[in-house]
Amino acid sequence: MAKATRKQALGRGLSALLKDPEADIKSVKDRNAEKVVGNIIDIDLDAIDVNPFQPRTYFNEEELKELASSIKELGVIQPITVRKLDGNKFQLVSGERRYRASKIVGLRTIPAYVRIANDQEMLEMALVENIQRKDLDPIEVALTYQRLIDEIQLTQEEMSKRVGKKRSTVTNYLRLLKLDPIIQTGMRDGFLSMGHGRALVNVDDIDLQLKIYEKIIKDKLSVRETENLVKNLKEGNTSVKNAKESKELPKFVRDNVDNFNKYFGNKINVKLTGKDKGKIIVPFESEADFNRIKNLLK
């Protein structure tokens, strides 16, 4: 039997212990605490309160439904983490998506790791756990770092050690909060990347920031093109309106693009990297298509 399965089997017995009012566990020093803290225990969903310190405020409904469908078929594979409150009550530390999806499915219990923590420890655990997620947008990460500074009183150096990131990385995220709120919203909605944001934050004039932001969206500027635009603007070499667009390909390229498309059987992409310099990108749709193109190049 796998280790996780053994722990969960043990957890079903410990669930009864948690419901005993005479055995209420409030600290790691209490009797039977060692049987509960750190173990995976099946806990009633109705006994769990959501985390008031949750740094994340938006949950994609479609993704929640997909997770709920997976849980319905396979169960909750990764336990959530909760902290023990008075009586048979708990509070989420991490795993709110799994918690919400389990409620959608109609589960009565959910496997959970039990922790003992005070409010500050709870906030710090929730914030640090949130930063480790892979699907956060740059502004969510930046706001989480700022909360660690403001509410846990961590310096940037202390925080970089706590979350396992370079200090320069932490600084780069925090600088994004200097951007106009409209641009921050654009980053959260996926209209531009962190690289775009890092380029824009070097523009002190908010009105100019917004004009460049509008051009990034309108002309689909890459990060490199945005960096060059900002550099030229700071040097007074051009204006946002008259900035040369990368899609204005030289005549010798425009005259031959169709020939490349016909030869490779796919629509190629041409990207300029300088005056009369650039890259030809040949897309492929499968391994067979890749091998077909490879043979053409032999």
Active-site residue identified among 34, 61, 96, 124: 96
Give the span between the Cα atoms of 218 and 191, in whole angstroms.
11
Q: How far is CA 85 from the centre of its chain?
A: 29
**Alpha carbons 171 and 156: distance in angstroms, whole number:** 8
- The pair phi, psi for residue 238, each rounded to 5°, is -160, -175
Residue 34: active-site member:
no
Q: Are 126 and 55 in contact (CB under 8 A)?
A: yes
Determine the residue type at 223.
V
User: Tokens for 12?
Assistant: 């079903």
- Torsion of the alpha carbons at 187, 191, 194 and 196, rounded to the nearest 10: -120
Q: In this structure, what are the phi and psi dihedrals at residue 63, rounded to the nearest 5 degrees? A: -65, -35
Residues 6+ apart with CB under 8 A from 133: none
* Alpha-carbon span 295 to 298, nearest angstrom: 5
Structure tokens at 227: 């960096």
At position 221, the amino acid (one-letter code) is L
Residue positions annotated with a catalytic role: 96
